[in-house]
């Protein structure tokens, strides 16, 4: 009788461990799937940038340094996206991607600020259409990033809860990293002056 109880207890523990393992795998796969949506939107963003640079090049030829900085930042972001897409649960790859995308956003901001000095550029239909497409894509990136971060939160919470953390540690389920692509301006404290 005792043997059967022990056997049932071992079988119950094994089944419980398998269910924890499977849940962690499913949640890690959700993180990967959510990142795939970000990949699509960031790839679209990266594909639009060379077209934008070409469109403004004729008007801003002497702003060559800014245009080259945009292309360099775009190429760095493309490389970061490839690395992150290879393993979306890698904290290092996601941090590098976030840094590259922030740098790209900064150089695009400089390009748009400079373009304000060129009235004929601001009126160019092609440039206006590209800017609208970039804005639309940025909104889609933000939505996809939120879905990715929600998947990361659920995965990390499940991974860290007891007894899941024992299985996660045993099978090397590493913590996933949130993707935060923000402009530096959003974090700056506004300056107020009463002069």
Please indicate, yes or no, if residue 81 is contained in any of the structural domains: yes
Cα separation, 51 vs 163, in Å, equals 52
Please indicate, yes or no, if residue 155 is contained in any of the structural domains: yes
Inter-CA distances, 66 with 60, 150, 161, 177, 190, Å? 9, 36, 48, 31, 26
Please indicate, yes or no, if residue 66 is contained in any of the structural domains: yes
Please indicate, yes or no, if residue 189 is contained in any of the structural domains: no
pLDDT band at 182; cut points 50, 70, 90? low
Please indicate, yes or no, if residue 30 is contained in any of the structural domains: yes
- The string of pLDDT tens digits covering residues 107-123 is 988 888 888 877 777 77
Please indicate, yes or no, if residue 4 is contained in any of the structural domains: no
Quote the pTM value.
Answer: 0.78
Please indicate, yes or no, if residue 9 is contained in any of the structural domains: no
- The string of pLDDT tens digits covering residues 35-68 is 999 999 999 999 999 988 888 877 776 678 888 8
Cα separation, 38 vs 59, in Å, equals 32
What lies within 8 Å, CB to CB, of 25 at 6+ separation is: none
Q: Provide the domain count of the chain.
A: 1
CATH of the domain at 50: 1.20.1440.20
Cα separation, 70 vs 110, in Å, equals 9
DSSP state at residue 161: S
**What average pLDDT does this structure show over 23-30?**
93
Structural domain of 154 = 24-184
Please indicate, yes or no, if residue 60 is contained in any of the structural domains: yes
Length reported for the chain: 195
């Amino acid at each position: 009788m005792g043997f059967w109880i022990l056997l049932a207890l071992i079988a119950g523990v094994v089944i419980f461990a398998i269910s924890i393992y499977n849940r962690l795998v499913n949640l890690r796969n959700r993180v990967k799937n959510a990142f795939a949506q970000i990949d699509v939107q960031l790839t679209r963003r990266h594909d639009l940038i060379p077209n934008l640079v070409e469109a403004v090049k004729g008007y801003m030829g002497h702003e060559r340094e800014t245009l080259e900085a945009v292309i360099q930042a775009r190429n760095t972001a493309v490389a970061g996206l490839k690395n992150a897409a290879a393993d979306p649960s890698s904290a290092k790859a996601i941090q590098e991607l976030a840094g590259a995308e922030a740098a790209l956003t900064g150089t695009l901001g400089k390009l748009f600020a400079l373009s304000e000095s060129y009235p004929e550029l601001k009126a160019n239909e092609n440039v206006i259409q590209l800017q609208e497409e970039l804005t639309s894509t940025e909104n889609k990136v933000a939505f996809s990033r939120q879905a990715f971060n929600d998947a990361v939160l659920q995965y990390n919470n499940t991974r860290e809860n007891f007894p899941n953390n024992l299985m996660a540690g045993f099978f090397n389920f590493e913590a996933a990293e949130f993707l935060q692509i923000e402009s530096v301006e959003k974090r700056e404290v506004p300056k107020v002056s009463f002069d």
